[in-house]
Amino acid sequence: MRRTLLLSAVVFLLVSLPALAQLKSNLVFFTEQGEQFTLIMNGVKQNDTPETNVKVTDLPAPSYKVKIIFDDQTLGSIDKNIYVNQGNEITYAIKRNNKNEWVVRYMNETPLAQALPPAQGQRIIVYGAQPAQVQTVTQTTTVTESYNDTPPAGISVNMNVNDQSAGLNLNVNMNGIANGSQVSSSTTSTSYSTTTTTTTGRYDDGYDEPADGERPAYFLPGYTGQVGCPYPVHPDEFRDIKQSIATKTYDDTRLTIARQVISSNCLLSSQVKEIMLLFTYEDTRLELAKYAYGYTYDIGNFYKLNDAFTYESSIEELNEYIQGFNH
């Protein structure tokens, strides 16, 4: 019986793993006040013309480096690391925070099967598609009326109205005939047309990475100890990072995402501790603490992580690791 259950579990895993590996995600970015922007993901330009709402589909990886470049150059640009839950559609709002700074703020997410259809005016891009693809969604309504009438004899009226900008084409002909006439009208209107374009290639026009030394030095109030990395992640961005890790079910998956986050960011020791407390098992917390040490700003405060451990042996092992790291 036990062998049968084990065999069934193995078969289930073998069948499920390919499906899990194929899970992809969507990301939606929009501006609340209608500012137009260009979206850059992992250095690749996504929309060929500035838009106010961009959806990128078929994302295979769990994290991306995102840059928002406003069409209005006075607004500047935003850099952000985005972490996605595979199989979901995640929406981010581009807005000003209470300090009047531009931020990319997490809004909500939903499983792909429950995601809403494309919104009017939304630009949809298939991530990494080669070659560029164009998809058009058009909705057209046509109403035609035809009827007979008997106007007075000898009347002849011709009227044409053609307004392409309003999507209106109206033609009326009334030819008076002694015994009657035919009047016909035809109205055609197009409700909307959305064009989806995928553009590949690196984005190099009008965008240069900041030179070394341009960003002001960061100072942690009250801290005068050794510094392990130059500039900690912003609290708003860290909140998104923590939420992305917390939504994972298993410690192994959380650890994988946490390592990806840590390897591309600089954290405060207090932020490392918050991530550690998301894990259930002591050995996983210890492994994370070791990995994060080389990516921590205030490494002099690393002793504060000891409160996240239950056993003295974990504290001693972390201390030995730090001593070996510094020599």
Q: Could you tell me the residue range of the domain that residue 162 belongs to?
A: 139-191
CA 224 to chain centre: 37
Domain-terminating residue out of 117, 133, 149: 133
The reply to whether 201 falls in a domain is no
Prior bond to 131 cis, omega within 30?
A: yes
Judgement on whether residues 187 and 263 belong to the same structural domain of the protein: no
Backbone φ and ψ for 257, nearest 5 degrees, come out as -65, -45
Write the pLDDT tens digit of every residue in 146-193. 445 454 455 454 555 555 544 445 554 555 544 444 544 444 444 444
Write the pLDDT tens digit of every residue in 30-41. 999 999 999 999
Lowest mean per-residue pLDDT among 69-73, 162-166, 267-271, 279-283? 162-166
The reply to whether 215 falls in a domain is no
Lowest mean per-residue pLDDT among 23-27, 72-76, 211-215? 211-215
Highest mean pLDDT among 61-75, 113-127, 155-169: 61-75
Task: Give residue for tokens 């197009």.
Answer: 190
Judgement on whether residues 39 and 118 belong to the same structural domain of the protein: yes
What's the DSSP call for residue 317? H
Judgement on whether residues 181 and 242 belong to the same structural domain of the protein: no
Write the pLDDT tens digit of every residue in 122-153. 999 998 764 434 344 444 444 445 445 454 45
Specify the CATH number for the domain of residue 64: 2.60.40
Judgement on whether residues 176 and 128 belong to the same structural domain of the protein: no
Judgement on whether residues 272 and 317 belong to the same structural domain of the protein: yes
C-beta separation of 182 from 148 below 8 A:
yes
| Nearest in space to 156 (alpha carbons), one of 128, 138, 176 | 176
The reply to whether 205 falls in a domain is no
Domain-terminating residue out of 90, 113, 133: 133
β-partners of residue 210 are none
Lowest mean per-residue pLDDT among 64-73, 88-97, 109-118, 306-315? 109-118
Domain-terminating residue out of 102, 117, 133: 133
The reply to whether 178 falls in a domain is yes
Judgement on whether residues 75 and 120 belong to the same structural domain of the protein: yes
CB within 8 Å of 168: residues ≥ 6 apart? 161, 162, 187, 188, 189
Judgement on whether residues 125 and 72 belong to the same structural domain of the protein: yes
Provide the whole-model pTM.
Answer: 0.43
Judgement on whether residues 117 and 34 belong to the same structural domain of the protein: yes
The reply to whether 220 falls in a domain is no
Judgement on whether residues 32 and 120 belong to the same structural domain of the protein: yes
C-beta separation of 129 from 198 below 8 A:
yes
Judgement on whether residues 51 and 97 belong to the same structural domain of the protein: yes
The reply to whether 214 falls in a domain is no
d(CA 261, CA 257): 6
The reply to whether 48 falls in a domain is yes
Alpha helices by DSSP H, listed for the chain, are 2-21, 235-246, 251-263, 269-276, 282-293, 312-325
Number of domains in the chain: 3
As a whole number, mean pLDDT of residues 286-311 equals 93
> Which token pair is 45?
């330009």
